[in-house]
């Protein structure tokens, strides 16, 4: 294995060679992201209010149920990858394998749970703000008709064009291939795409009606919601070395999707888009990301901007993949607000399309009595270990959650209003869903 200094030298060399191209934004071949910064439609007080409301809701849940969200609690996001390839061709999308897809999924789950090996390279100055988003991405196993998918979490379409504009792709591809965005995070993989006239490695649709600072009330329709990524930046050579000759060297570790999905969850770039921001303007409305006037290329570790050290390891800058390794607490707070309240985000948390492979779990978990009045019991067989329970209202709101252990549990329902609820049970063998009525 080559030393770290070797990789840094190669990546930094690439950055120096390509920097003049990046300066001419419209001509770049490997622009990190197509999403341009949204205007500050809401002031920062709005975001702080929303986050405070989110935290208050969590505290109320803790007071009512004796439980609260913990580091073990996961936001489960079901994913379907739409691979758009050329019939009879040999381009990159034609060559995407199951192993490549899995390598990308592994990167997402590591990055969003701060389990990435390079998290140890977060510099000491930023360790206090670095944190896990507690988001787990799972491949869908059921299609939109409730049938088991032939290839788990993957659809392949003979839809190809040398290079799509975002308008063409949204109209001609997304609207014809998108799966229910209330149940699936749709991710399209293409060879090349241009976003607002500039070649890009990816772009995402921001959440609607988030109320978060820096975001418009609406960013697109349900028929276009999701993320687009270029095949040359899809997957990780750290996990699948056969990808080395296929991926762009600067973007070969799967971080383009980590970045774009950040936008899907409402997180902005850490920098001012045009490089003209002042040091009194917060580009991303996150107080724990240092002020930065312009995007970062390569792998600089001593970049000073606005008189302070820049957090160039943040996933929402433009640093090379090899040098990205962290989200911050304020960025995660934005994600959690979006996941708890925004359309086509909060519904993903109650989707059951990843559960088909674990249907047999339902037979191993006994929930009774049902209907329940003051409590219900959980009991498993075959030594199936309970880990966590989360109860959702029919509107998709989280009304109860608790960390569990062992093979039995007693759940109080006195804090729940009468009605039908969905119960999500996380076990050591997977996730199972059940319904319960409270009388």
Q: How far apart are CA 333 and CA 354, in angstroms?
A: 25
Domains, the chain, ordered by start: 4-349 (3.40.390.10), 355-438 (2.60.40.3080)
Range 51-55, long-range pairs (CB < 8 A, 24+ positions)? 51/333, 51/334, 51/337, 54/333, 54/336, 54/337, 54/340, 54/341
Per the CB < 8 A criterion, the answer to whether 271 and 317 are in contact is: yes
**Can you give the pLDDT of all 439 residues of the chain as single tens digits?**
444 444 444 333 433 333 333 322 223 345 668 665 444 444 445 555 566 665 566 555 555 544 444 445 689 999 999 999 998 888 999 999 999 999 999 999 999 999 999 999 999 999 999 999 999 999 999 898 888 899 999 999 999 998 999 999 999 999 999 999 999 999 999 999 888 888 889 999 999 988 888 888 888 899 999 999 999 999 999 999 999 999 999 999 999 999 999 999 999 999 887 656 667 778 899 999 998 888 899 999 899 988 899 999 999 999 999 999 999 999 999 999 999 989 999 999 988 888 754 556 778 899 999 999 999 999 999 899 999 999 988 666 789 999 999 999 999 999 999 998 989 888 887 778 788 999 9
Q: Which residues contact 278 (CB under 8 A, 6 or more apart)?
A: 293
């Amino acid at each position: 294995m080559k030393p770290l200094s070797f990789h840094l030298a190669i990546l930094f060399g690439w950055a120096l060679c390509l920097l003049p191209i990046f300066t001419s934004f419209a001509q770049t071949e490997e622009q990190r992201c197509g999403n341009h910064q949204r205007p500050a439609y809401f002031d920062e007080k709005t975001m702080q209010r929303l986050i405070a409301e989110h935290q208050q809701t969590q505290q109320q849940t803790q007071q009512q149920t004796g439980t609260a969200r913990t580091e073990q609690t996961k936001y489960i996001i079901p994913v379907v990858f739409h691979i758009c390839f050329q019939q009879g061709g040999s381009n990159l999308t034609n060559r995407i394998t199951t192993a490549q897809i899995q390598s990308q999924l592994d990167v997402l789950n590591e990055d969003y749970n701060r389990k990435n090996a390079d998290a140890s390279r977060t510099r000491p100055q930023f360790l206090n703000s670095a944190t896990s988003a507690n988001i787990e991405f799972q491949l869908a196993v059921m299609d939109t008709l409730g049938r088991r998918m032939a290839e788990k979490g993957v659809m392949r379409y003979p839809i190809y064009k040398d290079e799509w504009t975002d308008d063409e792709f949204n109209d001609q591809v997304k609207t014809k291939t998108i799966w229910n965005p209330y149940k699936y995070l749709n991710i399209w993989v293409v060879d090349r795409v241009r976003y607002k006239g500039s070649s890009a490695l990816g772009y995402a649709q921001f959440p609607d009606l988030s109320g978060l600072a820096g975001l418009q009330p609406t960013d697109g329709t349900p028929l276009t919601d999701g993320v687009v990524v270029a095949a040359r930046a899809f997957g990780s050579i750290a996990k699948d070395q056969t990808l080395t000759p296929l991926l762009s060297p600067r973007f070969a570790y799967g971080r383009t999707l980590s970045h774009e999905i950040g936008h899907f969850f409402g997180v902005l770039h850490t920098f001012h888009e045009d490089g003209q921001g002042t040091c009194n303007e917060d580009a991303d409305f996150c107080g724990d990301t240092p002020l930065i006037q312009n995007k970062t290329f390569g792998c600089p570790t001593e970049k000073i901007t606005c008189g302070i050290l820049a957090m160039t390891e943040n996933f929402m800058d433009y640093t090379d993949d090899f040098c990205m390794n962290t989200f911050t607490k304020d960025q995660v707070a934005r994600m959690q607000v979006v996941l708890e309240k925004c359309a086509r985000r909060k519904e993903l948390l109650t989707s059951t399309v990843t559960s088909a492979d674990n249907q047999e779990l339902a037979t191993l978990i006994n929930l009774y009595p049902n209907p329940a009045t003051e409590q219900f019991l959980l009991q498993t067989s075959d030594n199936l270990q309970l880990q966590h329970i989360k109860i959702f209202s029919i509107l998709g709101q989280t009304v109860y959650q608790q960390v569990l252990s062992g093979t039995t549990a007693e759940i109080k329902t006195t804090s729940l209003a009468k009605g039908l609820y969905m119960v999500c049970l996380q076990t050591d063998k997977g996730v199972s869903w059940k319904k319960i009525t409270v009388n």
